[in-house]
Amino acid sequence: MTATETLRANSGITFKPLAPTFGAECVGVDFSKPVPGSTVQIIRDGMARYGVLVFRGTQLDDAGHVAFAAQFGDLDDQTPWIHPGTPYRLGQYTQLSDVGNIEVDGHIVQKEDIRYQINQGNKLFHVDCSYNPRRAGYSMLRAHTLPPKGTGGGTAFADTRTAYDDLDAESKDRIKDLVLWHSLWHSRRLGAPDSAVLQSVNPEDHAMARHKLVQLHEPSGRTNLYIAWHAYRVDGWTREESRPLIEALLEHASQDKYTFQVDWENNGDLIIWDNTCVMHRATGGTYQGKYVRDMRRATVLDSSSTAWGLNDQTVERSGMFASTTKNTKWVDGQDVKTQAA
């Protein structure tokens, strides 16, 4: 038994597998007080093995959520998504992404709202922040207020390590050196084909990030497909040349044998996933436009050797209100907001 295994055995923390190749429910972590470093290490080891960990009924509040997430590394913040001069719904906690369906004034987002249309891209399998120069590592999504049971709102996950393992030798050889361009606005357009506003956005006018398609997942030592519906094209290929390969790999990696769904049960449930070896998507439901689904996510920036991909190491990121740099076009969310009004 290794030192970490001994530590886990003595801690009372256990992992219950949720699918044949990845995912587990983690039991035994006490979130009522600061989580000790030894427990953080056990969770890291569990993440390396399972890629997705589910914690039920943590009862974390926003402050505790941020403090817990910060123990795993540098946190992303929501500044590029906050309209200048408009209060942030989560107040001082800009380290938390507001991924709920309610506005600052409390009204539930409706299907005709641009925010609803933008969020339809979340129903496609993706990884968080691959379109930014420094990608996301762990995402930590917490249920603050759930819709009524039976109205949907689950989250599905896909195992991109096993999906890579199962590719034939010829396919692995073909893709081993490829680099993908990732675009936020590409996936947003795909997710909302009937949105005139989003269909008017040309992804090539805005920021993209480059990351290798085939990567070593350093925590586990396994090879991984780093892919998402954010993937716009292969570096050096045209969009038309890229589309068949990207779509074929995404369809391969999202087969039932590589996926499972987590149903949120109670307020305070928390799911952590590793964006560098797992894709995820929102599954939607009848709650949309009717019931509150208030979800909040902390995003731990990747600290692996491939965290920055083939991108400049800049603090600039994509977002509705990201600033403009000398050599990069960034999305002008003010214009999108105006068009949608």
Q: Does pLDDT of 80 surpass 70?
A: yes
Which residues touch 324 (CB under 8 Å, ≥6 apart)? 330
Cβ neighbours for 6, distance < 8 A, ≥ 6 positions apart:
none
Contact 274, 51 (CB under 8 A): yes
- pLDDT tens by residue, 2-42: 656 665 666 899 999 999 999 999 999 999 999 999 999 99
Is residue 136 left, alpha or beta, with left meaning phi > 0 and alpha meaning psi from -120 to 50?
beta
**Domain enclosing residue 36, as ranges:** 13-340
Q: Whose CA is closest to 295, among 136, 87, 65?
A: 65
The answer, yes or no, to whether residue 325 has pLDDT greater than 90, is no
pLDDT of residue 3: 59
78 versus 233: the higher-pLDDT residue is 233
180 falls in which pLDDT band (50, 70, 90)? Answer: very high
CATH number of the domain that residue 260 is part of: 3.60.130.10
Assess if residue 167 is contained within a domain: yes
DSSP E strand boundaries for the chain:
14-17, 24-27, 52-55, 96-98, 136-145, 155-159, 179-182, 209-212, 214-217, 222-225, 231-234, 259-262, 270-274, 278-282, 294-301
The amino acid at residue 102 is I
Distance between CA 229 and CA 300 in Å, rounded? 21
**pLDDT > 70? residue 220:** yes
Cα separation, 297 vs 195, whole angstroms: 26
Gyration radius of the chain over CA positions:
19
Mean pLDDT (the chain) is 91
Tokens 């085939």, residue located: 214
* Mean pLDDT confidence for 70-83: 91
**Res 40: pLDDT:** 97
Give phi and psi for 82, each to the nearest 5: -95, 125
Is residue 3 a part of any domain in this protein?
no
Question: Is 44 in contact with 219 (CB distance < 8 Å)?
Answer: yes
Specify the number of domains making up the chain.
Answer: 1
Comparing 291 with 316, which gets the higher pLDDT? 291
Residues 280, 125 contacting (CB under 8 angstroms)? yes
Between 191-200, 207-216, 319-328, the lowest mean confidence (pLDDT) is in 319-328
Q: Give per-residue burial for 37-72: e unless 16+ CB within 10 Å, then b.
A: eebeebbbbbbbebbbbbbeebebebebbbebbeeb
The reply to whether 158 falls in a domain is yes
CB 304, CB 218: distance < 8 Å: yes
Residue 80 lies in a domain: yes
Give me the residue label for tokens 């947003």.
188
Encode pLDDT of 116-164 as tens digits. Answer: 999 999 999 999 999 999 999 999 999 999 999 999 999 999 999 999 9
Q: What's the pLDDT score for residue 323? A: 38
Both tokens of residue 243? 């589309």
The C-alpha atoms of residue 280 and residue 22 are separated, in whole angstroms, by 13
Minimum mean pLDDT range among 52-66, 76-90, 131-145, 174-188:
76-90
Query: Rounded CA gap, 158 and 22, in Å?
Result: 9
Residue 179's pLDDT is what? 98
222, exposed or middle or buried, with CB in 10 Å at 0-12, 13-18, 19+? middle
Least confident of 123-137, 194-208, 235-249, 315-329: 315-329
Instruction: Tell me what pLDDT residue 214 has.
Output: 98
Q: What does the block give as tokens for 338?
A: 């105006």
What confidence score (pLDDT) does residue 319 get? Answer: 63
Q: Judge contact between 161 and 222, C-beta under 8 A.
A: yes
DSSP letter at 193? T
